[in-house]
Amino acid sequence: MNTAVTSNANDVAAEHIDAVREFNRRYTRLIGVLHEHLVDTDYSLTEARILFELAHSETSDVVELRRNLDLDPGYLSRILARFAKDGLVERQRSDQDARRQQVRLTEHGRAVFGDLDERSSRGIAGLLADRSVTDHARLVEAMRTIETILDGHDAPVRIREPRPGDHGWVIARNAALYAAEYGWDGSYETLVARIVTGFLESHDPHRERAWIAESGGERLGAIFCMREDDDTARLRLLLVEPSARGRGVGSALVEHCLEFATAAGYRDMVLWTNDVLTSARHIYQRAGFELVDSEPHHSFGRDLLGQTWRRTLR
């Protein structure tokens, strides 16, 4: 159990508690798990959960099954007895410990589970049928977010190519973050929009690429690799959300950029940044970039020190 959450339980806002309870009530009514029987079969939700667990293992220890499903021993015993009477399961004593009982599905039991599983899938498909594909994606991302928060740990970070809407997100997040953290004005958003638009209009996918970092369906960062000349690639628009800093997201994005540029045949990679972007500079240094030039300039409503960094790829 997460002790930090437990110790602060009294601090949870009443409206948040009410919102979660209301969501639970609406969700359970929507998917029908409060019905006496599941998806028009003779099986309750608990019985379906037991069949699901048994279907995903050759043989299950009854004690472990009870623990995994958090069921009363007597209740589980009665269900298994009914399953055995109906020819769904076979029970036997463990070869390693005669005090422990093991259970497995029969062929008939697996057929019954297969029918139940198919009915359940059809039910979910029917639930989603009247929603758009975009809503499907939003729903799955929201569910992943709920899992991540309630499980108490971060979902793995993955690096993927951009999907529709991601490039607009890159422009918006660059503008918002740099305005909030460094006070840069709207001219920076104009610059980022120009860079992204140019990339979308004319980039060569064999030598230019962009990536999005995400975790649990949430976008955490982005990076672009663009052509400077035949031998040189340019790293552009590295972005890491504040909530993701310290998780290695920036380094992973830079590594993807370097690997792609090397495979594409470039000999060097360059980038331009400003000395106030301390975290980004540390990422570049760890990746083997070296500072080759510095020049003061006035841009984005601020006096800045621009820096050019370079790294040999071959």
- In eight-state DSSP terms, residue 217 is T
Mean pLDDT of the chain: 88
pLDDT at 154: 64
Taking CA 114 as the corner, what is the angle to CA 111 and CA 119, rounded to the nearest 5 degrees?
130
E strand segments, the chain: 60-61, 89-93, 101-105, 157-160, 209-215, 218-227, 232-240, 268-274, 290-299, 302-312
The backbone torsions φ and ψ at residue 233, rounded to the nearest 5 degrees and listed phi first, read -105, 155
Which whole number is the average pLDDT over 78-93? 92
Q: Is the pLDDT reported for residue 7 higher than 50?
A: no
Q: What percent of the chain has pLDDT over 90?
A: 56
How many Å from the N-terminal Cα to the C-terminal Cα in the chain?
Answer: 50
> Are 309 and 271 in contact, with CB atoms under 8 Å apart?
yes
> Are 77 and 99 in contact, with CB atoms under 8 Å apart?
no
Domains with residue ranges and CATH for the chain: 3-130 (1.10.10.10), 157-312 (3.40.630.30)
Which whole number is the average pLDDT over 66-93? 91
pLDDT tens-digit series, residues 225-282: 999 999 999 999 999 999 888 889 999 999 999 999 999 999 999 999 999 999 999 9
Q: Which of 95, 93, 89, 57 is nearest to 76 (CA)?
A: 89
Query: What whole-number distance in Å separates Cα of residue 21 and Cα of residue 259?
Result: 48
List b or e across 124-159, with b for residues whose CB sees 16 or more CB atoms inside 10 angstroms.
eeeeeeeeeeeeeeeeeeeebeeebeeeeeeeebeb
Residues 6+ apart with CB under 8 A from 287: 251, 254, 255, 258, 311
Element of type H or E holding 25: helix 14-31
> Are 101 and 81 in contact, with CB atoms under 8 Å apart?
no
Provide the token pair at 32: 């029908």
Q: Which long-range contacts (CB under 8 A, 24 or more apart) does 277-286 make?
A: 279/240, 279/245, 279/250, 280/238, 280/250, 281/307, 281/309, 283/238, 283/250, 283/251, 283/254, 284/254, 284/309, 286/251
pTM for the structure as a whole: 0.57
One-character DSSP codes across 227-259: ESSSSEEEEEEEEE-GGGTTTTHHHHHHHHHHH
The backbone torsions φ and ψ at residue 267, rounded to the nearest 5 degrees and listed phi first, read -100, -25
pLDDT at 136: 87
Angstrom CA distances, 169 to 185, 264, 273, stand at 18, 27, 21
pLDDT tens-digit series, residues 182-219: 999 999 999 999 999 999 999 999 999 999 999 878 89
Q: Is the pLDDT reported for residue 29 higher than 90?
A: no
Q: Is the pLDDT reported for residue 45 higher than 50?
A: yes
Q: Which of 142, 198, 189, 148 is nearest to 170 (CA)?
A: 189
pLDDT tens-digit series, residues 98-138: 778 899 999 999 999 998 888 888 878 888 888 898 888 88
pLDDT at 2: 37
